Amino acid sequence: MIGITPESRAGSQVERGFRLETETEPSLNALTVLPQAENEALSQAEAAYRQLRDKLIMLEIRPGEPINDGQLAAELGFGRTPVREAIKRLEVDHLVVSYPRRGTFATTVDFTELADVSEIRELLEPLAARRAATRANAATRRELLDVAKAIAELEDPTPAEARELMRYDLTVHRLIYHAAANPHLEDTLIRYDNLATRIWCLVLDKVPSVSGHITEHVELLEAVAEGDADRAGELALHHVTSFEATIRKVL
């Protein structure tokens, strides 16, 4: 089976960087989405933010669960100050909410927001894909093809592996957003893709095929890498609309 493992790569702030290697283990070796830095280590506040954000997205911190900054600081190996800074940013991302005299909690997942989130993504995901197809450099195009090949060779996950497979989805989207070369578009799409992924993870056990959702990315990545902007835009739109349709079927 093809596995992907993270490795540091200087010169990019996108949450990516990995190498392909052959795995002999039968279990799925999902891609862990890790922060990258530009020739230097991330600040503790940034590292804490990204780790907590992905824990919330992947429901490792469950909706409605109390957020204890001291406990999280000890768990992640950071001081309380960077964790508190991270929590403030996560409020802006609508991933945590604070109440006076009650504390801070992971936000609940409101399925009524699905239409609003999808409406924005249906407009911006094709834009990012088209821009990436025309603006990605040669190294990024090679990387996109490597990811497409790895995903194409994935085996069907077991139920226990399905949640980890969603990390591939996060990574593919973040690669394309970065390749679009518009930091404002990238930041906006990351925020809404995070919310969409959180919804998906909540209904994951009811979804018939997670692998089908992930393998849709193969054609999209290839279209972007080959510079086919129109095709990339069409595939990105299809991916978003099929995501919403799948969620609505299981609600």
Tens of pLDDT, residues 187-216: 999 999 999 999 988 888 887 767 777 888
Q: What is the structure's pLDDT at 160? A: 65
Is there a contact between 15 and 50 (Cβ–Cβ < 8 Å)?
yes
Please report where in the chains the tokens 């592996």 appear, as a residue.
161
Confidence of residue 159 (pLDDT cuts 50, 70, 90): low
Q: 89: domain range? A: 44-106
Distance CA 58, CA 171 (A): 13
Cα 216 to Cα 20, 33, 70, 183, 223: the distances in Å are 20, 19, 41, 25, 12
- 57-80 pLDDT per residue, tens: 999 999 999 999 999 999 999 999
How many residues appear in the chain? 251
Does a structural domain hold residue 4?
no
Residues 146 and 225 in one domain: yes
Smallest CA-to-CA distance from 215 within 155, 164, 160 is with 155
Residues 237 and 137 in one domain: yes
Does a structural domain hold residue 3?
no
Domain boundary among 106, 127, 159: 106
Q: What is the structure's pLDDT at 214? A: 80
Confidence of residue 33 (pLDDT cuts 50, 70, 90): very low
Residues 95 and 141 in one domain: no
DSSP notation for 163-202 = HHHHHHHHHHHHHHHHHTT-HHHHHHHHHHHHHHHHHHHH
Give the residue-averaged pLDDT of 29-38: 37
Q: How many domains does the chain have?
A: 2
Does a structural domain hold residue 35?
no
